[in-house]
Every structure is written in structure tokens, then in C-alpha cells.
Amino acid sequence: MECLPHLFYQRNNVTTIARQLIGKKLTTVLDGHVTSGLIVETEAYSFKEKGCHAFNNKLTNRNKVMFEAGGVAYVYLCYGIHSLLNVVTGQQGRAEAVLIRAIQPLAGQEFMLHRMKLKKLDRITSGPGKLTKALGITHSFNGSSVMGPNLFIDAGPNPHRHKIIATTRIGIDYAGADALLPWRFYLKDNEWVSKW
DNA sequence: TAGAGGATTGAT
DNA sequence: TCAATCCTCTAC
């Protein structure tokens, strides 16, 4: 399966890309261990709104990866505990990214369980902090390409006919009116979505 | 340089 | 409802 190309990410429309990433396949290959899952939930973030780390084009040491050209990973530590994975989009200098919030496991489930120290697959990748742990994604991925060799996204199975719901994003009440933007996308009726 | 807070999660 | 946990950013 071929990776999505640079051009997919380097469009200046982050909500369109967030919607189109639903149903795609996210894979990591680490030390020969392949783990992958179907992306079932995303959120879009843009410099134009307060929910974004790079609101108003504010450049910091943490968010500088967001200003790179689309197609790289922006991974940061949340609440001191969880690594969250974003895919940077847009052209260079345009700070936009898509947060991957949930996946449905497709391959390497046994190794995901090992990483999570769990015995049941039950919803182990239903949340942004959980899927990164299951796939072995840490801060060391920050700035690395999502077109391989360790991390990549391809079209996945059944690329057509996904019913996608658009709704408000989670956990950004501090963003005021911007918290009401319908920039969260998920696959309808999918049990791996983090929250309905 | 100190202090506050966070794009979460799981247990109570 | 709340604690875990630590990096980042802001203010001084």
C-alpha cells in the first residue's frame, strides 16, 4: 500500500484534510514490529483559532514543527503524561495540523497489548493518548515524516463510503467561541471513537 | 526563575 | 470527581 503523497498534506485546508484522513490507515514500524490502525477520529487545528497552540501565528519552541510544510508529525506531551500525535498540514509557514484522536486496530494487536501492558483489546486505541502508546509513538517522532520509514499513512481498506460526523472538539473550553467550531470528525457508529 | 495550567486517562 | 505528572509558557 502506498503512502499518501506530500500533496495530500500540503493543501491549505486543514478541515478538509482532517475529514479525508478518516478511514485512512496509520502504521508504525519500530524494531521490526508493525502496528497499524484505521483512523476513525480526528480534529483540525489552525493558527486562525484559539484552540490551536499556534494561535495568531505565535511561534514557540514547542509548536515550531507546526510551521513546517505539511507531511510531518507534531508530537507533544499533554498533562505531563500523554504523547499526542498530530499531522502537520498546509504549506510552510502556515501553522495547521490534524490531531489523530482514535484508531481501530488493524495489525499488530498482540504487540499493542504488550505495549499497553493489557490483555484485552477492548478500546485500547480509543483516545489520543492511548493510540500513541499502542503504536509506540513518543516525542522522538516530533518533526519526523508521516511518509515513512517509521511512521506512515496510506489509503487503507475500503476507501469509499464512510459516514463521517462533524462536531465540536474536545477539551478546549478555554478557546471560547472557537471551541464551538465543528472541527472534530469521526466515523459514524464506530465503536473505537473516543467519545460520542 | 517561579508558578500556573494543559488538545488525557483511569480510578474512586 | 479527582489525581497523576512534567513540560511549556508567562510574568516578574
Residues A151, A87: Cα–Cα separation, whole Å = 11
pLDDT digits (tens, 9 = 90+) for A105-154: 999 999 999 999 999 999 999 999 999 999 999 999 999 999 989 999 99
Nucleotides on chain C within 7 angstroms of protein Cβ: 4-10
Question: What are the b/e assignments for A87-117, b being 16+ CB within 10 Å?
Answer: bbbbeeebbbbbbbbbbbbeebbebbbebee
> Band of the pLDDT at A159, cuts 50, 70, 90?
low
Say which amino acid occupies A163: K
Residues A16, A31: Cα–Cα separation, whole Å = 34
pLDDT digits (tens, 9 = 90+) for A42-70: 999 999 999 999 999 999 999 999 999 99
> Band of the pLDDT at A20, cuts 50, 70, 90?
very high
Helix then strand count (H, E) for chain A reads 4, 8
Backbone φ, ψ for residue A80 (5° rounding): 70, 5
Does the CB of A80 sit below 7 A from strand C? yes
Nearest residue (Cα to C1') for C7? A80
Residues A10, A194: Cα–Cα separation, whole Å = 27
Residues A134, A87: Cα–Cα separation, whole Å = 17
In this structure, which long-range contacts are made by residues A115-124, counting pairs with CB atoms below 8 Å and at least 24 apart in sequence?
Answer: A123/A191, A123/A192
Q: Are A137 and A83 in contact (CB under 8 A)?
A: yes
Mean pLDDT of A4-14: 97
Query: Taking Cα atoms as reference points, which of A68, A77, A58 lies closest to residue A10?
Result: A68
- Note the CA–C1' distance, A52 to B4, in angstroms: 19
> Band of the pLDDT at A157, cuts 50, 70, 90?
confident
Q: Nearest nucleotide to A64 by CA–C1' distance? A: C8
pLDDT digits (tens, 9 = 90+) for A160-190: 567 999 999 999 999 999 999 999 999 999 9
Query: Taking Cα atoms as reference points, which of A95, A86, A97 lies closest to residue A129?
Result: A86
Residue with more model confidence, A78 or A162:
A78
- Note the CA–C1' distance, A78 to B4, in angstroms: 15
Within A 1-60, residues with CB less than 7 Å from strand C: 53, 58, 60
Query: Taking Cα atoms as reference points, which of A80, A79, A75 lies closest to residue A145?
Result: A75
